[in-house]
Amino acid sequence: MSSSTIAMKKLVASDLHTLEAYARLRPTFRAQVLAHKKRRTLALGPNVTLIFEDRLTIQYQIQEMLRIERIFEPEAIEEELEAYNPLIPDGRNLKATMLLEFPDHEERRRMLAKLTGIEDRVYAEVGGFPRIFAIADEDLERSNSEKTAAVHFLRFEFGEEHVQALRNGAPLAFGIDDPRMPCRKALEDEQRSALIADFDP
């Protein structure tokens, strides 16, 4: 089994540290994850960031949730796994957390009301191929007619031709195709390599 396939396997309870073990490991593990996430974080603009999730980032989120909530019952741990495992890429897609960030409370309220549905206009772009628009918030609806949420979960589905082009050196960019927040950002080599590793061989 390849390292890529192993990296994207869903998490099971035996992959997680107990609360006691995690308390000891947390400083080292947290530093490892933060360094890992740096290569997987893309600032599309001053107010929007994409964090591309994988098995390690999701394990960290689950471990932190168990720690904060003091969860140790097997049934409750399984519930957390069921909630978070869908955020791990499946081998032919990329999955990202989208953050809409406005430090001022009043500006955040105003902008989230203005940006309803913006999550459906986020795209990936491989070389000269047509844009791949994100599938947003499959677990639950986070926008309504009055406002969008500050956090969204996105899935970008890539075809074999996209993956092959990326492996052959095609550029990879992400953006928002919407006049309310137009932006586009090409990935640097280190970021691009990190995301290509999410695809099955």
Q: Is 100 helix (H, G, I), strand (E, B) or coil?
A: strand
Q: Is residue 15 situated within a structural domain?
A: yes
DSSP-derived secondary structure for 139-158:
SS----SS---SEEEEEEE-
Give residue 140's pLDDT band: very low, low, confident or very high (50, 70, 90). Answer: low
User: In this predicted structure, what is the pLDDT of residue 25?
Assistant: 96
Which amino acid is it at 135?
Answer: I
- Give me the residue label for tokens 């791949």: 132
For residue 168, being part of any structural domain is answered with: yes
Is 70 exceeded by the pLDDT of residue 130? yes
Residue 78 lies in a domain: yes
What is the count of structural domains for the chain? 1
> pLDDT for 1-43, tens place per residue?
444 445 578 999 999 999 999 999 999 999 999 999 999 999 9
Tell me the pLDDT of the chain averaged across its residues: 92
Q: Is residue 183 part of a domain?
A: yes
Report, as an integer, the average pLDDT of 171-179: 97
Per the structure, the complete domain to which residue 58 belongs is given by: 3-196
Residue 7 is predicted with a pLDDT of: 53
Question: Is residue 201 assigned to a domain?
Answer: no
- pLDDT tens for 81-119 read 999 999 999 999 999 999 999 999 999 999 999 999 999
Is 72 a domain residue? yes
Q: Is residue 53 part of a domain?
A: yes
Q: Output the CA torsion sign for 158, 161, 165, 170.
A: negative
- Is residue 146 in a domain? yes
* Percent residues over pLDDT 90 in the chain: 87
Its pTM stands at 0.89
Radius of gyration of the chain (CA): 18
The 10s digit of each residue's pLDDT in 39-50 is 999 999 999 999
